[in-house]
Structure 1
Amino acid sequence: MGWFWANAASKPHGKFPPGAVCPIDHSGTAAVCPVVVADDDIEVLNPLNNMPMAISSQKAPGQKIILSTERTISLIPRGELLDQGNWEYPSPQQMLNAMLKKGKGQGIDEEAVTSMVDVHNFLNEGAWQQILDWEKPHTLETRVEPRLEKFTGRPHDLSPRAQTYLFLGKIFPETFNTQPPFDRHDWTVLRSKGRNEGWEKVRYVIDYYGAPDDEDTGMPAFMLDTRPALDSVTAASDRFERWFFPLWRRAMGDFSDRQ
């Protein structure tokens, strides 16, 4: 798990609609397949992120303020090949248009859209840093950095761990979560098998939790619970080692933060 505080540039302002902490609707299942050409009644989606293939950068009808059309390049490598570059986030204008198109932008404070994009991007970058930390033992072995193949949002699906925490929160409310995560992502990470040896696909589950604003700065705080999904022997081993070895070191009197 890891805590994240938004910086001054990303601090939300204006009035957020309910459930708008993670404004992109990633719901649905992404599949690795060519884009299906659809008729006028069916959305053409990017199979890697379940977002419209061509999100308009034009000002929406009735829009009151001008939003930036500049897109931010993430630090997250995309796909198997180096020439695929890094993932690119939608601009604030594209974000607003996407929400309006999906029927999720009604009544939204337009002045808050830029901050919503900043927070969303900030959390995704934080999630990737946590994934890099999990992948570090494998990266040290292969000397090849992992990459992100695709991601799928599952905001309405509670992970088994989130369900467990909620159950324990009813019994031990001072220790465990009493509120569900506001979002969940499943990310398919490409882990190198060795230089020029191809990639292994590893699914990561990320639960996004809100937290009270920082008392000193007033900045919003978030907690990301990032871990490999328990769908392989390697993932189970990684999670066991992550839990067991720090516990063993503390039992032996080593209270450092080394992993």
Structure 2
Amino acid sequence: MLANVPSECPMSGQGGGRSLLPQQPESDINPDNRMPPPNQQPAPDQPFLLPTERVVSSIPKAGEDGERWVYPSPQMFWNAMLRKGWRWKEDALSPDDMKTIISIHNANNEQAWEEVLRWEALHARECPCGPKLAKFGGKAKEFSPRARMRNWMGYELPFDRHDWIVDRCGKQVRYIIDYYDGGSVKENFQFTILDVRPALDSFGAVWDRMKVAYWRWTTSPPTHTNKEELKLAKDFPEERQKV
């Protein structure tokens, strides 16, 4: 059984690291991911050594041509969990468990970005170079209005929430990602059901949500839909349960 670890994501855009102080000064917090500098040092009383190698994601990083966000190493992830209040002695955790946790974390982020790209296909003409992830932050205890509404209807609350700020060729757009438990872990390490959508911060976001809701329930996009939107409309009906 995997440990019940804190949920907020420690993905970083930095490659190096220095030791994490017990109480990190606010000035050292990276505003892009709300995380302190990467820490690759083993924690006190850590029961086993963990790898420090990091994996480069497929998610492009805003403001840096050709750069992509980098996932934390197992050691960085361990330290991040400790910083958020997790205590390893309360869980029978093994190195294989940590490997699985990291794989799930990375798979969730890749899946979330794929969902963002589907929404961003609505704006392919205004942003031909494609969107990039500018910054993000975890808000596990701040349930979105949609999550609360679903809970009032009898559905479970998400176990985590992230807000991602996407750079759409100079325009920043906020996305909300709610994470729901999807049961057992699959071979591709995807067990989480993601509800990804643009936040209702602007008329454009409201219009996108209305358009996609129409497609999901009718499976019939308007005749004036462009090629990118037509492909998107064919994908979205599979997820009617998220409306």
User: The TM-score by the shorter chain falls in which range?
Assistant: 0.7 to 0.9
Distance 1:249 1:126 in 2: 23
Q: Please list the CA deviations of residues 12-61 of structure 1 after superposition, one character each: whole Å capped at 9, or x if unmatched.
A: xxx4333x2736469xxxxxxxxxxxx985432111111111x3212222
Counterpart for residue 166 of structure 1:
151
Distance 2:188 2:197 in 1: 29
**Residue 80 of structure 1: how far off its partner (Å):** 2.4
Classify 1:115/1:23 alpha carbon distance in 2 versus 1 (closer, same or farther; 3 Å).
farther
Distance 2:187 2:75 in 1: 29
Q: Does structure 1 retain, via aligned residues, the 8 Å contact 2:100–2:189?
A: no
**Residue 246 of structure 1: how far off its partner (Å):** 4.0
Question: Which TM-score applies when normalising by structure 1?
Answer: 0.73
> Whose helix proportion is higher, 1 or 2?
2
Q: Does structure 2 retain, via aligned residues, the 8 Å contact 1:212–1:220?
A: no
Question: Which TM-score applies when normalising by structure 2?
Answer: 0.77
The answer as to 2:193 corresponding to 1:223 is yes
**Unmatched tracts of structure 2, length 5 or more:** 12-20, 223-232, 237-243
Q: Indicate the percent of aligned positions where both proteins have the same amino acid.
A: 36
The answer as to 2:149 corresponding to 1:180 is no
CA RMSD of aligned residues (A): 2.8
> Which of the pair has the greater relative contact order for Cα pairs under 8 Å at 6+ separation?
1
Distance 1:240 1:189 in 2: 20
Q: Please list the CA deviations of residues 70-112 of structure 1 after superposition, one character each: whole Å capped at 9, or x if unmatched.
A: 00111111122315x0111110011112222343233241422
Letter in 2 for 1:181: P
Counterpart pick for 1:243 among 200, 210, 213: 213
**Unmatched tracts of structure 1, length 5 or more:** 1-14, 27-38, 170-176, 193-198
**Residue 251 of structure 1: how far off its partner (Å):** 10
Distance 2:24 2:64 in 1: 31
Distance 2:41 2:173 in 1: 37
Distance 1:154 1:23 in 2: 7
Counterpart pick for 2:72 among 82, 85, 90: 90
